[in-house]
Amino acid sequence: MAHIGPLGRTGAGWREPMLATLTDRRFSDEGWIFERKLDGVRAICSRNGDTPQLWSRNRKALNDAFPEIVDALAAHGGDRFVADGEIVAFEGTRTSFSKLAPRIHLTDPVRARESGIQVFYYLFDLLHFDGSEAVSLPLRLRKQLLQDAFDYEDPLRFSSHHNTDGEQYFEYACENGWEGLIAKRAASAYRHGRSADWLKFKCVADQELVIVGYTDPQGAREGFGALLLGYYDDSGFRYAGKVGTGFDRKTLRELHAALVAREVFQSPFPGLTIDPGTHWVRPELVAQIGFAEWTTDGRLRHPRFVGLRTDKDPAQVRREQQQQ
């Protein structure tokens, strides 16, 4: 391995991940690489001579939910590393957050292994390895080093990429039901936080939103009718509309119990007219929502509940803005 500088004082451990910026541009460029956008849970992995650790993007420990990945990192990685990747489950040939969701909330490794949900960990970046830092190196070199840093046997997988031709690869991604692509500037360093050096090409619209309330169920429906959703911006809290589809009976029952425990009496949206039978809750739960588009008045069109996210701080949930 090439010498890549001394490991910093922080050593192995959690790092704030680099995040991509949404864009509606599609382009091909020899200075960029293009990776499949995976529909899973972002995870930083680290090891400093002891048991490897898995961390969510908001610094929650994931070892108990994905013990087989921890085992694989211990068996097929070095003694000291920090790498970045995505944990996924498959529905056919497509990665599926809803398929993965039941694993995310488990805190018993035995139950996780016996869940019947097979998971994989796609590694796509290297931050530190064997006492050396890699974040300042160009991405192409980091990926070369990453490929050599682990033995890729399931559930560990290397996230491959295409060079230059982003437009044709994007068409292929959408035709095959993928989430989309991540375009990455090939010469860029790894920068913690959101960056325009990584761009999201989405085939489908989705968004993380905060659950702020629910409505009473109608007819034979159990639990609740719809969830009320919101997000933060520089002016405060914004209402994004309601979602009433995408729930199975188990989710309706379990999520209703979690909502009742968080119920409050005051609306977070003063002046907003809401139907009778609405209940407000503390803004502590984050949902992944698929939808067709945003309306001109800032509501979701044809929203669909995908699952709960525990890897996102509700206070950090904002409407994704496209880079033009």
Compare 270 and 19 and report the one with higher pLDDT. Answer: 19
Examine the domain organization and report whether 69 and 166 are in the same domain. Answer: yes
Q: Which residues contact 169 (CB under 8 A, 6 or more apart)?
A: 34, 162, 181
Whether the per-residue pLDDT at 1 is higher than 60: the answer is: no
Examine the domain organization and report whether 224 and 85 are in the same domain. Answer: no
Last residue of a domain, one of 202, 223, 246: 202
- 9-18, 49-58, 108-117, 255-264: range with lowest mean pLDDT: 9-18
Residue 220 confidence (pLDDT): 86
CATH number at residue 241: 2.40.50.140
Whether the per-residue pLDDT at 241 is higher than 90: the answer is: yes
Residue positions annotated with a catalytic role: 37
| Number of domains, the chain | 2
Last residue of a domain, one of 172, 202, 232: 202
CB 124 within 8 A of CB 86: yes
Residue 199 confidence (pLDDT): 97
CATH number at residue 176: 3.30.470.30
The answer to whether residue 12 is domain-embedded is no
pLDDT band at 6 (very low <50, low <70, confident <90, very high): very low
Task: Give the span between the Cα atoms of 226 and 216, in whole angstroms.
Answer: 8
The answer to whether residue 36 is domain-embedded is yes
Examine the domain organization and report whether 181 and 244 are in the same domain. Answer: no
Residue 3 confidence (pLDDT): 36
Query: What six digits make up the tokens of 62?
Result: 């994931």
The answer to whether residue 304 is domain-embedded is yes
Q: What percent of the chain has pLDDT over 70?
A: 95
Residue 167 confidence (pLDDT): 96
Mean of per-residue pLDDT scores for the chain:
92
In the three-class reduction of DSSP (H, G, I as helix; E, B as strand; rest coil), residue 110 is classed as helix
pLDDT in tens, 84-129: 999 999 999 999 999 999 999 899 999 999 999 999 999 999 999 9
Examine the domain organization and report whether 79 and 227 are in the same domain. Answer: no
pLDDT in tens, 251-267: 999 999 999 999 999 89
Examine the domain organization and report whether 195 and 237 are in the same domain. Answer: no
Whether the per-residue pLDDT at 71 is higher than 80: the answer is: yes
pLDDT band at 12 (very low <50, low <70, confident <90, very high): low
Residue 233: domain span:
205-316
Examine the domain organization and report whether 214 and 86 are in the same domain. Answer: no
pLDDT band at 2 (very low <50, low <70, confident <90, very high): very low
Residue 319 confidence (pLDDT): 93
The answer to whether residue 228 is domain-embedded is yes
Examine the domain organization and report whether 113 and 186 are in the same domain. Answer: yes
> 6: exposed, middle or buried (C-beta count within 10 Å: 0-12, 13-18, 19+)?
exposed
The answer to whether residue 167 is domain-embedded is yes
- 66-70, 87-91, 276-280: range with lowest mean pLDDT: 276-280
Examine the domain organization and report whether 215 and 190 are in the same domain. Answer: no
CB 47 within 8 A of CB 80: yes
Residue 115 confidence (pLDDT): 96
Examine the domain organization and report whether 237 and 135 are in the same domain. Answer: no
Within its chain, how far is the Cα of 320 from the centroid? 13
Last residue of a domain, one of 157, 176, 202: 202
pLDDT in tens, 28-45: 999 999 999 999 999 999
Query: What six digits make up the tokens of 196?
Result: 């325009």
Examine the domain organization and report whether 222 and 151 are in the same domain. Answer: no
Within its chain, how far is the Cα of 196 from the centroid? 18
- When pLDDT is averaged across residues 223-238 and rounded to a whole number, the result is 94
pLDDT in tens, 150-192: 999 999 999 999 999 999 999 999 999 899 999 999 999 999 9
The answer to whether residue 39 is domain-embedded is yes
Task: Give the span between the Cα atoms of 225 and 218, in whole angstroms.
Answer: 6
Residue 324 confidence (pLDDT): 53
Examine the domain organization and report whether 138 and 229 are in the same domain. Answer: no
